[in-house]
């Protein structure tokens, strides 16, 4: 079975641009969460979606948004990019909220 897949694996954006990151959960998993991992730190929670509804939001500005589609895949959108948004963005899926999480390999975003 395929694991959690994220695309793209790497990308470089300019300050002020927007970016869309994509995540496909493990088949059968209905919950998707997004985390931001700045170099040298632990991942920070951004969003959690379950059954296409937002179930949790971390302490991130409104420039960050996400959605989950009927097939349970998800997008993370970041507008008006700042240099500080440079990080590894991780997606995790689970059967339901509160169950164990499986992480993807992440998208490395560099803002210049």
Partner 1 sequence: GDSVTQMEGPVTLSEEAFLTINCTYTATGYPSLFWYVQYPGEGLQLLLKATKADDKGSNKGFEATYRKETTSFHLEKGSVQVSDSAVYFCALSDQAGGTSYGKLTFGQGTILTVHP
Binding site for partner 1 (CB under 8 A): 4, 33, 35, 40-45, 48, 50, 55-56, 58, 90, 92, 94, 96-106
The residue (of 55 and 63) whose beta carbon lies closer to partner 1 is 55
Identify whether the C-beta of residue 107 lies closer than 8 Å to the C-beta of residue 85.
no
The residue (of 86 and 97) whose beta carbon lies closer to partner 1 is 97
Shortest spacing between CB 38 and partner 1, in angstroms:
11
The residue (of 19 and 94) whose beta carbon lies closer to partner 1 is 94
> What's 59's DSSP letter?
S
Which residues, at least 6 apart from 106, have a Cβ–Cβ distance to it below 8 Å? 6, 9, 37, 88, 89, 90, 91
Taking the C-alpha atoms of residue 36 and residue 34, their distance in angstroms, rounded to an integer, is 7
Taking the C-alpha atoms of residue 21 and residue 28, their distance in angstroms, rounded to an integer, is 21
Shortest spacing between CB 58 and partner 1, in angstroms:
7
The residue (of 48 and 68) whose beta carbon lies closer to partner 1 is 48
Shortest spacing between CB 16 and partner 1, in angstroms:
28
């Amino acid at each position: 079975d395929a694991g959690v897949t994220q695309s793209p694996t790497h990308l470089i954006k300019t300050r002020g641009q927007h970016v869309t990151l994509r995540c496909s959960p493990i088949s059968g998993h209905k919950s998707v969460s997004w985390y931001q991992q700045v170099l040298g730190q632990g991942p920070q929670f951004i969003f959690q979606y379950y059954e296409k509804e937002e179930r949790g939001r971390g302490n991130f500005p409104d420039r960050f948004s996400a959605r989950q589609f009927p097939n349970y895949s998800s997008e993370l959108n970041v507008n008006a990019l700042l240099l500080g948004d440079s990080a590894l963005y991780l997606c995790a899926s689970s059967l339901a909220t509160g169950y164990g999480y499986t992480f993807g390999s992440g998208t490395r975003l560099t803002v210049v």
